[in-house]
Structures are given as structure tokens and as C-alpha cells.
Structure 1
Amino acid sequence: MAEAHQAVAFSFQITHEGWDVNFDREVLNLVWQSGIRSWKKRFARFMNSVHNGVYPAQLWTLWLTMSIVIGIHFSGYKVPYDLVTKIMPLLPSNSTKWQLVGSAIVGTAMWLTVIYTIRYTLKLLLMYKGWLYEARGKGARISVKTRVWLLLVRILSGWNKPRLYSFQGSLPKLPLPSLHSTMTRYMRSVRPLLNDENYDKMQQLADDFQNGIGVKLQRYLLLKSWWSSNYVSDWWEEYVYLRGRSPLMINSNFYGIDAILMQPTQVQAARAAAVIHSCLLYRRLVDRQELEPILLQNSVPLCSWQYERIFNTTRIPGVETDRIMHWADSNHIVVYHKGKFFKVIIYRGRILKPREIQVQIQQVLDDKSEPLPGEEKLAALTAGDRSHWAQIRRNLFNKGANKVSLDTIERAAFVVALDDCPYLYDPKNPSQLDKCGKNLLHGKGYDRWFDKSFTLCVGSNGRVGFNAEHSWADAAVMSHIWECVVTDDTTTDRADAAVLTHLWEFVITDEIENRYDSNGDVIGECEIIPPSPIRLQWDIKDDGQKQIEIAALNAEKLINDLDLRIYVHDNYGKGFMKKCRISPDAYIQMALQLAYFRDAGKFSLTYEASMTRLFREGRTETVRPCTIESSAWVRAMEDKGATVDDKIKLLRIACEQHQKSYQDAMCGKGIDRHLFCLYVVAKYLEVNSPFLQKVLSEPWRLSTSQTPHGQTGRMDLHKYPNCISAGGGFGPVADDGYGVSYIIAGEDLLFFHISNKKSSKETDCHRFAEKIEQALKDIKNLFLDKNQLNGTK
């Protein structure tokens, strides 16, 4: 218990000799430094709010405008409309002092008028989405309308360097589609999935809904779209994520994997320290809003709202619904190693340097003490049923050491898991990468704190990965972080936004700028003696230990039922797809449709995630890749009588339709989020809708998602080909379905993360990987055969 005594900063007791006062100056100094840091951050947030509130203008233009108005007024000239003279009767007197005040008021009013005119003009311009439907790339012809629009956007938004949230006030709201358009698109999307009889029944349900209760539900939803900043996001977060009672592990959380072609060091403590330091630098960029927002076409901003909760965030379990807790600041992380939890201070007047953090991590690794009763598998509670975890949390962690230690974990910037096994990759042995993916997705079921925004996982051989909770943000945001971390160049300990632009790319630059010496340790020296890690204390009674063991057994059952295959396709990549003049994403989605049809012998409702971050507080929308066009092409591929030209023609039509569906989803013209919100309104009104119940009960047997790559533009893959990230994955959505995440990692490299449940006799991720491989091969052969027929190479 020595660590607990060291944590006491001040104590006193009454003795027969008087007062006996004891205090720890070091701890009190930490408290003082924490307070100073907190006030600095408050001031910085205030200044950022001012900056974002007047963006794209700068604050100095206000003082310039006021000076000009004062100068004109006292020179005898009349400010436009003689506004100063008109407001003087409203002031106490006509003295020079009050004339200055009047001029300042007029100058401020004129300045605000101009600024908000610019802001709302920019907002109107950003409502235009026609540019999304035009061809891009070299040689693409852009319409005059889009050229003029793009020029105006750049002029109005390019006055000042934007900060992370500078464009939030200028982003338009997510538009609410008309009921008729959504119903039309829905019926078209289910046509290939239903025979004539079932389609007619669904059409009747749709007509009854559209002409009946749907009209009333749409009116309520229209009011919400006017009132709220986003009519989907809050309900999506609450009802899809926070009200879900099933375990987060495998069912909700997702993982990301290291750049597998490189290994800068095999020293676990060194790699952990470097990545932790990169994450902390990224957190500082987010806090200071020095992280530049992502701009499509270098002009169109994406919503940055989700970045706020990357760090210091935990999902708190509840009996009926969870809640997301985000703390403004945290000066520690929590490290888990061999069943023990440690609080590690990472800020002491400044962020600790990588070498200083390595000393702390090594102390954790060298700790030979045994876990306290119930401590080793404690995190299994976060892997299980949410209501069960909420009840245990309420009973077991409501006071004493348990409450303090749990609070320490939940308030941590993030959690680090130091695994006692290596993360291996051998191109000749694909199963090693499969094991690595499974380990990152669920670990042992009790060595990841699944409630935290993310758990940083470090293998014993120095490779890294993460496990992320899903409710606080979407995978694209976490992959952005990961990309920054993997390409970090922090050997000079700089925090310039131009240098540290984004997070998962931070970790990969270990190859570009070697951060380790010949022994594999982090380069640099300790400038201070870093605070020693503090063991978290637990007092878990027998009943609590039994509950933890039950949770661990349930987690083990989930793990044993999961199968995962990470398929590395290095025969060709987006380079060949572009030569075929087909969108790489559409190309892969068609390959998945062909593979699934060959695997299951039928078509299935398919989910592909698309972002809606072109709108304020936008998250995702669903693209339905299984279309009338894609099913026609798949059937042609299985028809021995179909010609090569017919197959290629149908493939192009299917890809064009898929790309249009993806663009529609990005523009707020999707199907599923609209229907979901109508269903929520119906539940609030206690109205029964057979159509909505039917729609929302349909299983997504093929759930897919593309992992974004190169979001920061900091990686030159031609120069540093080993910096390619392998992406990440997730568990299957349906018990008898597949979860497929893919990343277009390079010109000639694709990664597919395929998951399924072993309990399902219909699915096998290893078999499906073979079907994907064959589908990609068959599509390539189509174009090679066509070129051969045409006599071209």
C-alpha cells in the first residue's frame, strides 16, 4: 500500500502535543501545475471560440474597422448613412468620449454585418453538392458552374488559416429527403432480393405507409430537422449505440493494425513510449484546435465535431442506456500488464518526452507483484452485457478503493495494454496475421478496457494496434488518428500543426525518421525523473470475483465463436482498377457481390458505410451495393453464354449506379437513416407501422466498410512503400453473415478483414476469402480478355 500513501498530498492529526501536519510538496506542486494547465486551456478555448466565431475573418480586422470609422467621423466625413450621428442621441452625452464609443459601436456593427454575410454566403455555397457528381482526376472536365462555385468557396474561406472547428458554423444542416423519394429508392434497392410475390407485398406495405402514417411521421421529423443541428446523429448515437444491451466486444468495437511491412524496434517499452507520446502530441493539437480540418478538393470542409471526444472519454454503462462521459483534461493514462493496472502520469509541467515515458513503461513491465483478487480479469465486465455491467458497477464500485481506481481508468486520456505475446506477420503464413487481428479485436476478453474511446495495444515484439469503442465517433476518425500515429515524426519534439498534422500517420514515420538507437530504445535522454507508475488498488469481495469470472467465461464464449481472416491481395490494386476507368470502391464492392453470390447461392442485403460529414454533426449513411444493376452483372458472370463485352458493359453500369448511390448518401439522399428516424418518431408516438418494422428487422448479412487511407497526405508511398497500413476490421453484424472491412493500401495492394461466427453453418471467412480472390481474378481477366480481343496490351 506504499503507492497509496504516496498519493496523499496533505494530512493532519491531533496529538497530545498539538496539531501534526504532513504534506507532500511534490504532490502539491503537481496539483498547482494541474490548476495552471487547466486555466491555460480554458483561456485557449476562449480564444479559439472567438477565432471560430468570426472565421473566416481575423480579430484584428475588427480593430481596423473601428479605427477607420473613428478616423472618418472625426475628420468631418460621414460614415455611410451617418450612423454615428444617428446613434448619438441614444448615448448619455455628445462628448468626445461618447463619440468614440458611438464610432466603436458603429464600427463593430458594420464589421459583424460583413462577417456574418460572408459566413452565411459560405454556408449557402457549401449546400451545393453538384461537384460530387462530376468526374475528378487528371483530364476530367469540370462544369463552369462548379468552377465558379469552387473559386467563390476558396475566396470566402481562404482569408485565414482554419482551425479544427473553424468551419462548424458554416456547415449546412443535413437535408431531410422527401418521403416519396426515399420510398422510391428503397423499393428499387430491395428488388433484387425479393421474388415477384414478396415484392408485391412489400410494395403494398410501402404504399400504405407512404399514403398513411408516414405523412404524419414525416411532419414531425421535418420539425426536428429545422430545430436540431442534425436530425439523425443524436438519435443514431442513442438508439443504435448507447441503448444497445449486447456486449461491445466483437459486436460493436473495432480494431486497427500496425504497418505490417515495417518494424522500427522490437523493444516493447520503446515502441509503446513513442506511440504514447505521439498520441499525446495529437491530443494537444486537438485541444488547441491547431489540427487543420480535412478539406475535400482542398476547399470543402468536413465536420470535425467527432474529434472532440477522441481522448479523455469513456462509455459509462447504464441499466437501460449508456452515456458518454468526456472530461476536459486528463494528466494520466492507465496501463494494463499481466493482470495489473497502473496509473501513469504523462504531464509534469509539459508532456513527458518519449525517453521518460519509456522509463515508466519499463517499470510497469518489470513489476513482479501479483494481481489483486479479481483484478486480472476485471475488464471482462466491459466486454459483457451492458445491463449486467451497470448493476455490478453500481454495487461494487460505489465507494472506497474500487471507486477511486475505476474513476482513474475512466478519466484517463486512454488505456494502454502491454500484451505478453508478439504481433507477427509472415507473408508465407497468413494465419499469423489472422491471430494478430483477433487479438486486437478482443484480446483475451479481459485485457482491453472496451468502454474507453480507444485502447492502445502493444505486442511484446514492439508492434502496435488499437481497439476502439464505436459510439463516440466513426471508424474514419479513428483511422485518421491511427494514420497520424503510424507516421509520426517527433524526433525534434515539435508540436507545430504543419508538422503533426494528424494521428495514425504519426506512428508509421518511425521508418522515415528513425526514432530508435541501435539497441531499439527511444533516442533521447531523461531531462527529469519521471513519476513512478502507481498501482491501482482494488478491494473486490468474493461475490464480485464470481461476477467477474462469469463475465470472463461469457467473453470467452464470444471469442471462441468468432473467426477472422485477413486476406492480403497483392496481385493488383487500384492502379489496375483506374486503368479500367472504374472507381476502385465500386470495383471492390462488385467483387464482393460476386463472391457472396458464389458463396451463398443468393443475393443479400448489403451494408456499406458512407460518411455525411459534409454536413454539420454528420456521421454515416448506408449505401446498398446490392442493386438491380449489380445483380444483373453477377448473373451474367455466372452465365456461360454471356460475352466478354456484355459482362464489361453490365459491370460498368453496375459500378456507375453504385457510385451514384454513394454520392447520394454523402449528399443526404440516403435511405436507411431517414427510415430509422421515422421509426424512432413512430415509437415516440406509440404508432405501429408494419412497413417500418419489416424494414428495420432485415438482417445485414454482408456488412462492409472501406478504411480510409492517406487522409493526411503526409505519406509518400512511392518513397516509403513500407509505411502502408493494413487497416482494421470488425465483427459480423448478423449471426449468419460476414463483416468485411477493406483498405486500398496502394497501387498493387489490398487488405480484406473478413469475420464470421463459427456457430453459423452458412458462413466461413476462409472460404469467403477464396471467393473474393477468385472474383477479383475473374474481373481482371474480363479486361485482359477484352484487350486481347481488341489486339491491345
Structure 2
Amino acid sequence: VAHRLFQVDCYLWSSIMTLCLLHTQNTLTSFHLKPTLPVPPLQQTCEYYLAALTPIVDPEELNHTRKLLEEFQKPGGVGERLQKGLEQRTKKMENWLSDWWLQTAYLDYRMPVVVHSSPGVVLPRMDIFSLRYAAKLIAGVLDFKSMIDNETLPVEYLGGKPLCMNQYYQVLSSCRIPGTKRDTVVNYTLVKRPPTHITVVHNFQFFVLDVYNSDGTPLTIDQIYIQLEKIWNSSLQTNKEPIGILTSNHRNSWGKAYNNLIKDKTNKESVRAIQKSIFTVCLDAPMPRVSDDMYRTCAGVQMLHGGGSRWNSGNRWFDKTLQFIIGEDGTCGLIYEHAPAEGPPIVSLIDHVVEYMKKSEMVRTPMVPLRMPQKLRFHITPDIKKDIEEAKQNMNIMAHDLDMKVSVFSHFGKDFPKSQKMSPDAFIQMALQLAYYRIYKRCCPTYESASLRMFRLGRTDTIRSTSIDSDKFVKAMDDPNTEKVALLDKAVKAHRAYTDMAIRGQAIDRHLLGLKLQAIEDLAALPEIFMDTSYAVVLHFNLSTSQVPAKTNCVMCFGPVVPDGYGVCYNPMDTHINFAVSAFNSCQDTNAARLAQALEDALLDIKTLLEQTPKAKL
């Protein structure tokens, strides 16, 4: 889809633009009109790079890096040559970054997608488990799919500018395919006969469920419900090999196991049916009962990895782009494979599905007999059995290592920062900086995702929340003799300014990556700035964070990106904030509950600070 209309001559392109403008600004076709991602000025990136390093490296290292950057920027030097290479790349490609980013951030990444890459989403708990709930959810996703297929999904805007909607085409009927050195992503929406089935997995057993009638209309909720009942009743035995747990393994190991698995014709056909499906629905066994206070945290764990081989980790196909999870104990949510899309399109889909499920059901139609959903068969050889056992062990290690805390900050939501004329996101990020500083007495590199969807095929860049101004604020916050409010105000504004830079394609991280990859592509020696200690430090994100706002009262969660780091995701609602904080138990210096508590304290302390300060001082 991303390439449908770009290979046209100027006359046709002009005609398409005119037709789109005459037709409507609110359809997916307008994503073709996005500008291309710019390459920021080299000097600007170098200056901001030094500023980003200032609060996180010592002065001696900073001075060394400054000298390297001066050499890098010399007229006619290596930096100028690489910059010109990137600028030439923009003339030849729809997006100079997107292919590189997909490969380096995802497909070349060899750690398991579970915990290390794929985010989960915790939805509000069901009052009671019901296959009818699952049927409604499936119908809601199909309703959303119809808007994608018909290109009637309203275009999203940011700062009054339309966003590229390409990612919406990537989340359905797509799947990651493992390789022994590099993965691929396959999207089946553009094939001659796009898939008309979903996969449903229960007790580790996979089924193909056709969700369209022969005339192309989607099944009704009643029809889907009856089909789910058939699947449920024919998969009550649990003594099946959890074939899906293979997808949780290290990518190289899974790539080898995958090649072995699909040597068998039946196995290959079953795997292809899962890969080609529109999406997957996981009907999970109940997890161990916990207190209401712990429920959200346990649900977050279930969404991210399924609880281990003893529970639901085998009830997944982690390579599938979109998997909805519905547990017998009322838990519900999803996990998605991150390579094709970012969080906002996923959350937009969720918001639509949740609203769809609130509608009263339409008058029931006369039931047409439907054939039994097809159960997918797998021949388990001794070698495959060995691979499954290895994946089970590795999954259990990951499950035990993940330290998670999902909580609701109920004292205020985005309404309070707005009342102070502050960006809610910047406000929360400064609280996070303060929480981390109070625990570790230092600032750390902080990643916050910024959308590049103002540009054609745009993905993300990095908002660097740790700044010279945030550093001054957090150090002053617990000092009674400083003007804390002015420093907070300056830090919030600095964050807002860098955010604006990032979404306009002017941040430093993807530009630096591009310069590095351009050098590699040119087969040139890697510039010293990329072998410098500072570059390793600046990319070691102890805090990996993301704001993923939703209308639905949900929260996204993901694992840390470094062994001694945290993953922090948040959904600011009007009167409360949903947080998910993760860490690794194998690191003695990190603790998810401790950071979550420090974050709550920091939010309250900043609120008190602002309320105690006369407005005239602001």
C-alpha cells in the first residue's frame, strides 16, 4: 500500500492531488501527500548532541567529544560527505530513514520479541468471562478493518497537520518471519486473495476461523459466537505441545527451529495459516488469583509474556502482529509485534473496538449453517520437541526476570498541568526525571518516543527528556534555597521545545544513526564520534518511556531496553494517570515498585510546589 501511488508521472500525480482535495481531506488517501522526512543541518545536530551529553557525562569526556565533533564538522570532512550522502538519499527514497530503521531497530535485533520488543496493552477487566465478549471484540476489529479497506478512516492530525496513515495498513494480515540472522515482515493484504480468516488459540491449539461469508460480508456477532463455542468445546484437552512458545525464543534459535519445523508439509501449511490470518485471538486459561491491588500488574505480565510455560506463554504466536488476549479470569488486552507499527495506531484501533462493543447488538439474523473451524495440525518430531523444551526454559527465565508494576495515579490527571498552562507530557516527564534522580542521585539518558508521522512513512525519533534544564530542576527540587518553580517552568518549556523539534524531523538521534549507517553503506571507516564512549553512554537509555494516550481507560506496557534500565509507559486521562513500570529482577539496582512510588511522590511534590507558589511568581 505504501507504494501504490508514488510511481506515477507528474501529470498523474497532479491529478491525484486535485482529486484528493476535491474528494475529502478526511480519508486515508491523503497520506500520500505527506512531505518527505528532512535531514537536519549537521551543525545543529552536533550542537544539540553536546547539549544532550552535558548532564550525563563528566566534563573531561564531554571535552573529548567536543574535539571529535569539531573534527567531524570540518569543511570538506567526513561529516560533510556523509551529510551529502543522506541528502542524496532523500531524493531517491520516499523516506530516507524508514527502511534503515525497520532493519536496525527490529529485523536485525536478535533478542526475543517477548519483553524486549513487543508491547502489551491492559484493557479494563471483564465482569465475567464470556465468549460473546470475544465475539463482539472480533466484530469490532472487522468493523475497523472495513474502514481501512475502504479508506474511510478519518485522518489523524497533530498540531493542525495531517499525519501519515500508512501504519494502519500494516497491523492486520501481517506477521514477522524468523531468520537465522535477520527477520522479515510479510503483509498479506496486497496479495491477489487477501485472507478472510483469523486464528484462535485455546489450550495451545490453533484454529482457522473464517470471519467472512461467501458474499464478502463479515459474520455477525452471533455467528462468530457459535464458531468460538465450537472451538472452545473441541479444545478442552490441555495435554498438547505448546507449539506457539517457539516464537518466544531468541531470534536466531527460533529461526533455526522454524526452518526445521516447516520441513514437514502439514506443519508448513499450519504455520502459513497463522501467519496469513488477519489477527489472532488468544483464549487464555485463568492466571493465579491475586488481590485487586495486584490485578493490573499481573494482567500486564500476562499481556507481555503470558506468565511462563506453566500458564499461557504457549497460547501465543508472538510473531503475529496483532494478538487479542481474553482470559477466563476476566483479563483482557493484547500484545503486538512492534516491527510494522507504533502504539498510537494500535490504541486507535482499541478505542474503536471498545466503543463498538458498547453498542446494543443488532436484530439477530437467521442462522446459516457454518462449517466447523479448521484445527491446525502439527507433527512434533523429537527435534521439534527439544526446541519446545528449550523455548520453555528460556521463557521461564524471562518471566521470572521481569519486574512489573502497573498502577493508577488517582490524585490528578492531565487536568492539573493544563490548569498550570503546562504540557501534561512534559510535566510527567519532569516528575520522572525527579523520581529517578532522587533514587540514584544522578541523571540518566532518557528516551521518549516522538511521532514522525507528519512525514511520509514516518515512524519515530527520540525526545531526550534529560536536558541541561531538567538537570538543574531536579537538583534544586529538594534544596530549600532555590527558585524551584522558575527552574521547573524552564525545564518544561525546554522539553516542549525539543518535542516540537523532534516531530518536525529535527531531533538528533535518527540523524546520527543515519550518518553512521551512511558511513557503513559507503564502506568507509566509521567516524570516531561513533566509537567514542559518549556515544555509547548517550544510547544507554536507563529510562525508556512513552506516552500512549487513549480514550479507553487502558495502559500500554513494555520491557526495559537495557539490563539496568526501566520501561515506563503512561496514559494520562483527565483525572488520573495510568502507569506501567518495568525493570529486570536480575539487576539489583532497579526496582519497578520503587520507581513507581518515587514517581507518585514526585508528581504530588511538584503539584504542592505549584499550589504553594503565588501565581504572580510564575
| TM-score (structure 1 length as normaliser) | 0.72
Does the residue aligned with 2:457 lie in a helix, a strand or coil?
coil
The equivalent of 1:718 in structure 2 is none
Whole-angstrom CA distance in 1 between matches of 2:288 and 2:365: 28
Alignment of 1:485-500 (within 5 A): 485-488=353-356
Does the residue aligned with 1:166 lie in a helix, a strand or coil?
helix
Which of 597, 604, 617 is the matching residue for 2:444? 604
Which of 178, 197, 205 is the matching residue for 1:340? 205
Alignment of 1:469-484 (within 5 A): 469-484=337-352
Alignment of 1:336-415 (within 5 A): 336-349=201-214, 350-368=217-235, 370=237, 376-415=241-280
Which of 705, 708, 722 is the matching residue for 2:549? 708
The equivalent of 1:634 in structure 2 is 474
Q: Write out per-residue CA displacement over residues 420-441 of structure 1, whole angstroms, 9 at most, x where no aligned residue.
A: 1169897xx3211100010001
Whole-angstrom CA distance in 2 between matches of 1:481 and 1:692: 39
1:742 aligns with 2:567: no
Letter in 1 for 2:58: N
Deviation at 1:595, TM superposition (A): 0.3
Q: Write out per-residue CA displacement over residues 98-157 of structure 1, whole angstroms, 9 at most, x where no aligned residue.
A: xxxxxxxxxxx9xx979828949xxxxxxxxxxxxxxxxxxxxxxxxxxxxxxxxxxx97
Asked if structure 2 preserves the Cα contact closer than 8 Å seen for 1:233 and 1:618, the reply is: yes
Q: Which runs of 5+ in 1 are unaligned?
A: 1-44, 55-108, 121-155, 489-506, 516-521, 711-723
Alignment of 1:458-477 (within 5 A): 458-477=326-345
Question: Which has the higher mean CA deviation after the structures are superposed, 200-209 or 267-276?
Answer: 200-209
Does the residue aligned with 1:664 lie in a helix, a strand or coil?
helix
Letter in 2 for 1:289: E
Whole-angstrom CA distance in 2 between matches of 1:361 and 1:287: 25
Q: Write out per-residue CA displacement over residues 1-35 of structure 1, whole angstroms, 9 at most, x where no aligned residue.
A: xxxxxxxxxxxxxxxxxxxxxxxxxxxxxxxxxxx
Whole-angstrom CA distance in 1 between matches of 2:238 and 2:297: 30
In structure 2, relative to structure 1, the CA distance for the partners of 1:49 and 1:213 (3 Å cut) is closer
Whole-angstrom CA distance in 1 between matches of 2:452 and 2:582: 26
The equivalent of 1:300 in structure 2 is 161
1:620 aligns with 2:437: no
1:595 aligns with 2:456: no
Which of 125, 132, 135 is the matching residue for 1:273? 135
In structure 2, relative to structure 1, the CA distance for the partners of 1:486 and 1:696 (3 Å cut) is farther
Q: Write out per-residue CA displacement over residues 185-212 of structure 1, whole angstroms, 9 at most, x where no aligned residue.
A: 1101111112221211121222222234
The equivalent of 2:554 in structure 1 is 726
Whole-angstrom CA distance in 2 between matches of 1:384 and 1:539: 20
Deviation at 1:365, TM superposition (A): 1.7
Does the residue aligned with 1:487 lie in a helix, a strand or coil?
helix
Whole-angstrom CA distance in 2 between matches of 1:788 and 1:611: 34
In structure 2, relative to structure 1, the CA distance for the partners of 1:466 and 1:526 (3 Å cut) is farther
1:165 aligns with 2:28: yes
Does the residue aligned with 1:193 lie in a helix, a strand or coil?
coil
Asked if structure 1 preserves the Cα contact closer than 8 Å seen for 2:28 and 2:152, the reply is: no
Q: Write out per-residue CA displacement over residues 163-218 of structure 1, whole angstroms, 9 at most, x where no aligned residue.
A: 64322332111111111110001101111112221211121222222234222211
The equivalent of 1:431 in structure 2 is 294
Which of 7, 11, 14 is the matching residue for 1:116? 14
Which of 554, 563, 570 is the matching residue for 2:410? 570
The equivalent of 1:331 in structure 2 is 196
Whole-angstrom CA distance in 1 between matches of 2:373 and 2:153: 30
Whole-angstrom CA distance in 2 between matches of 1:632 and 1:114: 55
Whole-angstrom CA distance in 2 between matches of 1:410 and 1:486: 25
Deviation at 1:687, TM superposition (A): 1.5
Number of aligned residue pairs? 600
1:648 aligns with 2:485: yes
Which of 226, 236, 246 is the matching residue for 2:91? 226
Whole-angstrom CA distance in 1 between matches of 2:615 and 2:168: 50
1:687 aligns with 2:525: yes
In structure 2, relative to structure 1, the CA distance for the partners of 1:449 and 1:758 (3 Å cut) is same
Asked if structure 1 preserves the Cα contact closer than 8 Å seen for 2:204 and 2:244, the reply is: no
Larger Rg: 1
In structure 2, relative to structure 1, the CA distance for the partners of 1:699 and 1:362 (3 Å cut) is same
Whole-angstrom CA distance in 2 between matches of 1:390 and 1:759: 27
Whole-angstrom CA distance in 2 between matches of 1:223 and 1:523: 59
In structure 2, relative to structure 1, the CA distance for the partners of 1:569 and 1:528 (3 Å cut) is same
Whole-angstrom CA distance in 2 between matches of 1:704 and 1:267: 32
Does the residue aligned with 2:613 lie in a helix, a strand or coil?
helix
Q: Write out per-residue CA displacement over residues 695-736 of structure 1, whole angstroms, 9 at most, x where no aligned residue.
A: 2563100010001224xxxxxxxxxxxxx4222110011110
Whole-angstrom CA distance in 1 between matches of 2:571 and 2:581: 12
Whole-angstrom CA distance in 2 between matches of 1:431 and 1:171: 44
Deviation at 1:675, TM superposition (A): 0.4
Whole-angstrom CA distance in 2 between matches of 1:457 and 1:569: 25
Does the residue aligned with 2:580 lie in a helix, a strand or coil?
strand
Letter in 2 for 1:569: F
Asked if structure 1 preserves the Cα contact closer than 8 Å seen for 2:542 and 2:565, the reply is: yes
Deviation at 1:739, TM superposition (A): 0.3
The equivalent of 1:773 in structure 2 is 600
Asked if structure 1 preserves the Cα contact closer than 8 Å seen for 2:28 and 2:153, the reply is: no
The equivalent of 2:583 in structure 1 is 756
Superposition CA RMSD, Å? 2.6
Asked if structure 2 preserves the Cα contact closer than 8 Å seen for 1:423 and 1:461, the reply is: no
Whole-angstrom CA distance in 1 between matches of 2:275 and 2:475: 52
In structure 2, relative to structure 1, the CA distance for the partners of 1:789 and 1:619 (3 Å cut) is closer
In structure 2, relative to structure 1, the CA distance for the partners of 1:704 and 1:115 (3 Å cut) is closer
Q: Write out per-residue CA displacement over residues 535-560 of structure 1, whole angstroms, 9 at most, x where no aligned residue.
A: 11111111210111101110110111
Asked if structure 1 preserves the Cα contact closer than 8 Å seen for 2:164 and 2:458, the reply is: yes
Deviation at 1:618, TM superposition (A): 0.6
Letter in 1 for 2:225: Q
In structure 2, relative to structure 1, the CA distance for the partners of 1:787 and 1:259 (3 Å cut) is farther
Deviation at 1:638, TM superposition (A): 2.1
Q: Which runs of 5+ in 2 are unaligned?
A: none
| TM-score (structure 2 length as normaliser) | 0.92
Which of 163, 176, 186 is the matching residue for 1:315? 176
Asked if structure 1 preserves the Cα contact closer than 8 Å seen for 2:202 and 2:235, the reply is: no
The equivalent of 1:256 in structure 2 is 121
Deviation at 1:345, TM superposition (A): 1.4
Does the residue aligned with 2:54 lie in a helix, a strand or coil?
helix
